[in-house]
Structure 1
Amino acid sequence: MTPEDIEQLARRRANAKLGWYMHALVFVLVNAVIFMMSRYAFGDRPWSVYPLLGWGLGLVLHAVSVFVLGSGSGFRERMVHKERERLQRERDKG
């Protein structure tokens, strides 16, 4: 990889992580407000758990896409490396 490629990949990874951190911050702030509303404004009904669970699932999937499957992640790089080796073995046989 050239230094420019490394710089571009580093920026893309940093932006993806920053995007997740912002998503997590908004998740915490909004769900805190929703919890307070459900607790104090609308009685003691635990309806705030439903948006928390739904959005929480989205946040977890976002984390997986950024930290596990994201561009340049170790998992993805290992898969690409294995696939490249398999294709090279097939090419060398045939």
Structure 2
Amino acid sequence: MQTHYEQEERFRLAKKRVDELKGFYGNLVSYIVVNLGLMILNLMTSPEHLWFFWPMFGWGVGVLFHAMKVYGFTPFFGKDWEERKIRQFMEEEKKRNESFKGE
């Protein structure tokens, strides 16, 4: 049986996940709407020079990284990396404290 604290923690984590997904979907919808508008503007005003690809590409890279973070595909700074770094920093702090006690 779960304690009240465990249930609250699960709810908090689920709410955080929903908020992350909502932020990503908002970013994706904005990306599509704005870039469609830029494409239409570009094609109506200067179809000989297609500049709308540049903001589409730049923002698209950002959307891609946002998706990778939200869906848990972070090959460089994933959960394992975070946990390793936390353990490393905790060990370093423990050694530093022990060296001060020994002096």
- Which has the greater radius of gyration? 2
> Does the CA-based 8 Å contact 1:38-1:46 persist in structure 2?
yes
Q: Aligned residues, how many? A: 78
For residue 20 of structure 2, what is the aligned residue in structure 1? 16
Structure 2 counterpart SS, 1:2: helix
Render the CA deviation track for 1:44-87: whole Å, top value 9, x for unaligned.
Answer: 321100000000000001111111158xxxx62xx38x85xxx9
What is the alpha-carbon root mean square deviation over aligned residues?
2.4
2:55 aligned to which of 30, 51, 71: 51
Q: RCO higher in 1 or 2 (8 Å CA, sep ≥ 6)?
A: 1
Q: So what's the TM-score if we normalise by structure 2?
A: 0.66
Gaps of 5+ in 1: 88-94
Correspondence for 2:67 among 63, 82, 85: 63
5+ residue gaps in structure 2?
Answer: 89-103
What secondary structure sits across from 1:63 in the alignment?
A: helix
- Cα distance in 2 for residues equivalent to 1:66 and 1:50: 25
Matched AA of 1:34: L
**Superposed structure 1 runs of 4+ greater than 6 Å apart:** none
Higher helix share: 1
**Identity of matched residues, %:** 22
Matching residue's letter, 1:65: K
Secondary structure of the residue that 1:47 maps to in structure 2? coil
